[in-house]
Amino acid sequence: MKEAIKNAAKVIIESRATIALTGAGISVESGIPDFRSKDGLWSKFDPEEYATIYAFRENPEKVWRMLKEMEEIVGKAKPNNAHIGLAELERMGLLGSVITQNVDNLHQEAGSKDVIEYHGNSKTLTCLWCKKTYDYEEKKGQYPPKCECGRILKPDVVFFGEAIPPLAMERGYQLAGSCRALLIIGTSAVVSPFNMLPRMAKQAGARIIELNLEETILTHDITDIFIKGSASTSMSEIISHVEGLKADNINR
């Protein structure tokens, strides 16, 4: 595993265009269970009943029973060393963008500037009728939160039945098709259309570095360097090796 960490750091240093794809696994150590896990949100709320845009339009009060629980979990979460490590790579000029499936805003809170959100962000709310937008903090503690027009607000997350934001998809495809190295962290990338990005990067010649607790369908298919273990520990070790390599280059 130490050799994999060293190789990953070397690839990141040598790549002139590195991006990261992240999923639920990167935020588990921040206290947010994967929605699909045995302790996740879908074990308590049937997504077909609570997480579709049709359910929200029909009965937003009911859907907010699920959203309230989601907000209570996400609201307590703080960035872990994996989020912080990605922000540090960006600060060092070694990471261009983070493309995430997560809606928890933890990448931004860690300091990442260029975050492309495939599934939106839970930290803002919008009225589907008058289109007025609010920061989550403005309505914190209100269940369900209401717009000044009187309608119930919807968090800016992509519900089942809604389209991925077009700009996020467009930028995701462009970056995946032009990157030279791709970090995959905390996701098996099976959900469409997110699952197209790793293969687009591979086809474009990128080196694939995968950080996951267990092997995925990507591991023996397209991954070049697989690092098994917690995302926060793995990223901390990668950052340490990257800093060491940069120092060696400066001293030569």
Mean pLDDT of 195-222: 96
Catalytic residue among 83, 119, 220, 241: 119
pLDDT tens for each residue of 12-22: 999 989 999 99
Contact assessment for residue 107 and residue 81, using Cβ atoms and an 8 Å cutoff: no
**pTM, to two decimals:** 0.93
pLDDT tens for each residue of 13-60: 999 899 999 999 999 999 998 887 777 888 889 999 999 999 999 999
Q: Would you say residue 10 lies in a domain?
A: yes
User: Of all residues in the chain, what percent carry a pLDDT higher than 70?
Assistant: 98
In angstroms, the Cα distances linking 114 to 38, 111, 135 are: 32, 9, 20
Q: Would you say residue 200 lies in a domain?
A: yes
pLDDT tens for each residue of 83-115: 999 999 999 999 999 999 999 999 999 999 999
Return d(Cα 21, Cα 29) in angstroms, integer: 17
Q: Would you say residue 53 lies in a domain?
A: no
Provide the terminal-to-terminal Cα distance of the chain, rounded to the nearest Å: 27
Return d(Cα 11, Cα 244) in angstroms, integer: 14
CA 187 to chain centre: 9
With H, G, I as helix, E, B as strand and everything else as coil, classify residue 245. Answer: helix
Active site residue 83: no
Q: Would you say residue 91 lies in a domain?
A: yes
> At a CB cut-off of 8 Å and minimum separation 6, what does 42 contact?
35, 36, 51
Q: Would you say residue 183 lies in a domain?
A: yes
Query: Which of 249, 201, 250, 247 lies closest to 221, judged by CA?
Result: 201
Structure tokens at 4: 């994999």
Q: What is the CATH number of the domain that holds 219?
A: 3.40.50.1220
Return d(Cα 47, Cα 49) in angstroms, integer: 5
Q: How many domains does the chain have?
A: 1
Structure tokens at 188: 């098996």
